[in-house]
Structure 1
Amino acid sequence: MAETKKINPVLKMALELGPIILFFAGFSRMKDQTFHIAGNEYSGFIVMTGVFIALIIATTGLLWALTGKLSRMQLMTLILVVVMGGLSVWLNDERFIKMKPTLLYLAFGGILGAGLLQGKSYLSSVMEEALPMQPEGWMILTRRLTAFFFALAVANEAVWRLMSTEAWVNFKTFGLTAALFGFFMAQSRLFERYGIKDDRPGT
């Protein structure tokens, strides 16, 4: 079994968020440009999608090299970016990469929902060490997060179908990140009520 290594949390965050930030910065500069590549015309969005795919592959590879493992979420994100982003570049159609968050959140919601139907919290199996909590708390959090993921999938569909590409990029970069942060901040009372405190002396 491969040994799991720890890395600096700041470095880990930089590797995870770096591709998104660079995609946003690149799109902001290239959104009104058209590029002629191999006899075809590509928008700045499509070109940056290709760059984004390369960045995700590189940073995910670095995370694996530095930690010795990848989470299911990281693997699923990598696969969807490569597949949906690749289709966008290959077919010169931006709709595919825009659907990636929808598929990702539907997958997360579906996996958590399948566990709930079996009376289990799959969330606890991946977060319990970092966030000790009573089983009842995990079930409540899992139900809420399942519904939240489905809501995010619906929101992403509405934004990319009804708004401009620039609006979607802003939503993807800032809106979804803020929504996830806000969701977990809103669970503070749940964590306080069901959290398992460390009762060891001196803590």
Structure 2
Amino acid sequence: MKLLFDFFPIALFFGVYRLAAMFQQPSFDFVTKYMSWMISGGAIKPDQAPMMIATAVAIVATTLQVSYVKLRGRKVDTMLWISFLIITVFGGATIYFHNGDFIKWKPTIIYWVFGTAMLVAQLAFKKNMIRQAMQEQIKLPDEVWAKLGSAWMLFFFLLGAVNLLAAFVIFKDNDSDWVTFKLFGMMGIMFAFIVGQTIYLSKYIEEEKA
């Protein structure tokens, strides 16, 4: 359930972008009429409208996530606060400067913040954040926890680099393909990593059950 909750703004960004791209002229008219006050110079090109609308929707969606958690009297976790801050800053810059490059940096910044936080926690405080998150569900030898923590740190740094490669090299002139890759490609890489991790840990899970 939490995975779907976290996934909501990403899926919404993809869906709105695709829909706006299909109806580019109405999307352009919408941005011109309702969003021009947010944009430097007050005007954009028609092909920029889908990114502007999708970014605005993603900002609203993340804001609603934070509001929903707080209204239920629950603590907003650090990951959600970071996502909210980054989408607001980089999404806002995307709309104001009508430049999609800002929002393309958003996944990389988030992944690198997570990787850096894990690295600082490990080096400065001798804390393994992966162990803290998972130790109630599974018992592992200390050396395995250490390997797992290092693997996640490296994975986040590499995933951030992959996004930059896709956004500014592979799909440099094709926002539509980058949006698709952001949803399906990045999630596919994440899923493959988790499956690999599960396979690696399976023998320890079996030993624990035995």
TM-score range, shorter chain: 0.7 to 0.9
Structure 2 counterpart SS, 1:54 = helix
Structure 2 partner of 1:156:
163
Q: Residue 14 of structure 2: which of 3, 7, 24 is its match?
A: 24
Q: List gaps (5 residues or longer) in structure 2.
A: 37-41
Matched pairs, number: 189
Q: Residue 171 of structure 1: which of 151, 176, 181 is its match?
A: 181
Structure 1 partner of 2:202:
192
1:85-134 residue CA offsets vs partner (Å, 9 max, x unmatched) = 11111221111111011111111111222233355312212332244433
Structure 2 partner of 1:68:
74
Code of the aligned partner of 1:167: D
Q: Please say if residues 166 and 178 of structure 2, whose CA atoms lie closer than 8 Å, have aligned partners that are also in contact.
A: yes
Mapped to 1, the partners of 2:95 and 2:134 lie a distance apart of 35
Q: Please say if residues 16 and 53 of structure 2, whose CA atoms lie closer than 8 Å, have aligned partners that are also in contact.
A: no
Q: List gaps (5 residues or longer) in structure 1.
A: 1-8
TM normalised by structure 1 equals 0.83
Structure 2 partner of 1:181:
191
Deviation at 1:64, TM superposition (A): 3.6
Q: Please say if residues 111 and 157 of structure 2, whose CA atoms lie closer than 8 Å, have aligned partners that are also in contact.
A: yes
Mapped to 1, the partners of 2:151 and 2:51 lie a distance apart of 34
Structure 2 counterpart SS, 1:120 = coil
Mapped to 2, the partners of 1:139 and 1:64 lie a distance apart of 34
Deviates more, 1:18-27 or 1:100-109: 18-27
RMSD, aligned α-carbons: 2.2
Q: Please say if residues 115 and 122 of structure 1, whose CA atoms lie closer than 8 Å, have aligned partners that are also in contact.
A: yes
1:44-193 equivalent positions in 2, closer than 5 A: 44-66=50-72, 68-118=74-124, 119-162=126-169, 163=171, 164-193=174-203
Deviation at 1:55, TM superposition (A): 0.8
